[in-house]
Chains A and B, each alone.
Chain A
């Protein structure tokens, strides 16, 4: 299980300008890209089309300035290819080719830009950044460490679940059940629940995500009472 995980995007070590840029600057740039391309409905179609196309080109250039490979760009797009196609067809039919192109370019630009951010920022730095974002909310009871741990766990679970899908597909095929929806989905659910349980236990065992020192209960459910 889980042999396919290395296919999933993650940090690519490097020394490019984006690797060296402070995280908050990268975040501001990403936000800028999103605002530029997603605000097109507020402008005439031809303005939106030009702005979005220029931003898309800039983002793709930035991808290569970060010394990230072609394969990574393609992977980010491939994951949503069907989705893009459906949206494109619908937009073309409803609003014409210029709008269809603008919408697709906007989505691709945002995804590629966020891909650059996650590819050039070590997870640890990302978690610290997220924690810092939450820190002002601390007085309202927010726990920055817990928040960044939760995000880390979410990122960690993606390769597992994708790997489970692929393994279960192979197993179903080996038994001649590839057309059986239940045989292809139920084991994924079971594996995912098992994985979540195991991870929860491992976290508790490592003392992560628990309150400093509980008076009374310790966050672990008794087996039976």
Chain B
């Protein structure tokens, strides 16, 4: 393999299988068939039916799931052996912000993200507040996360992840729990970000705003191409 370019995501024959429970092979299952991909576009959407393997593909990118065959490299770092370094590079946003937000208020949650920077308490609070205000969330800084609307929570979860400045942002169905208005708001926020984005979504309008769209079906990539062809293909295939 050659030297990695900036923000290069390379999957080489990466597959995920559940090992059989016993010698008879019972319980074995392919969750993702071995695939080779190079993801270099600034914005990439992953679409497909529930259970097709979208989350597994995205989790491979930050080492939350390790390939059982092949390798996944982010800027040359192997997710298998350099997981912690990979996760510093790749921010991950989940569908349900409540499973991602740990502290009781947005400002404390952003501070938690910043703990790894070893700032003083004062500096950490200031840094957290400036992160929140740069995303227009400073008015929510001290609210309980339970009092926020679903859309606000997802924006706070996004800010917490962006606080440590990852070069790549992976989002797993970030708008699936949101209403139409918040879906639109999130779509606008996401497309304004400088990070490389890999987003799985059922929001086809968001997919159409990406440069490349992967259609996942039955544990493999069924279509890979430009947004209009891919979304068109997906619509056709659903019938």
Contact = CB atoms under 8 A, between A and B. Distances in A.
A223 B102 contact: no
B113 A206 contact: yes
Interface in B132-151: 142, 144, 146-147
Interface string A183-225: 0000000000001001101111111101111101111101111
Contacts of A204: 64, 87
A225 B19 contact: yes
A156 B144 CA distance: 12
Contacts of B201: none
Contacts of A128: 121
Interface stretch (B76-84, B212-220, B222-230): B76-84
Contacts of B112: 149, 152, 206, 208
B233 interface: no
Q: Which of B63, B99, B161 lies at the interface centre, i.e. has the most chain A CB atoms within 10 A of its CB? A: B99
Interface string A114-139: 00000000111000100000000000
Given A124-B111, A218-B81, A223-B31, A207 B87 contact: yes
A118 B68 CA distance: 46
Interface residues of A, number: 42
Contacts of B115: 145, 208
B100 A123 contact: no
B88 interface: yes
Nearest to A3: B146
A68 B30 CA distance: 56
Given A156-B104, A220-B66, A199 B84 contact: no
A207 B104 contact: no
Interface stretch (A4-12, A47-55, A72-80, A85-93): A4-12
B62 A195 contact: no
A195 B102 CA distance: 12
A32 B105 CA distance: 31
A2 B121 CA distance: 30
B88 A207 contact: yes
Contact of B84 (A122, A145, A212): A212
Interface stretch (B40-48, B90-98, B178-186): B90-98
Contacts of B96: 198
The size bracket of the interface on B is 35 or more
A158 B79 CA distance: 33
Nearest to B115: A145
A13 B113 CA distance: 22
B108 interface: yes
B192 to A, nearest CB: 22
Contacts of B116: 207-208
B119 interface: no
A76 B153 CA distance: 28
Given A218-B81, A219-B83, A225 B63 contact: no
A198 B66 contact: no
A177 interface: no
A19 B124 CA distance: 20
A207 B94 contact: no
Closest 9 CB pairs of A and B: A218-B83, A224-B19, A198-B99, A205-B92, A222-B66, A202-B100, A207-B87, A5-B146, A6-B146
Given A123-B104, A208-B116, A223-B66, 16 more contacts: A10-B104, A124-B103, A124-B121, A153-B102, A156-B103, A156-B104, A198-B94, A198-B96, A198-B99, A201-B64, A201-B94, A205-B92, A206-B92, A218-B63, A218-B80, A224-B68
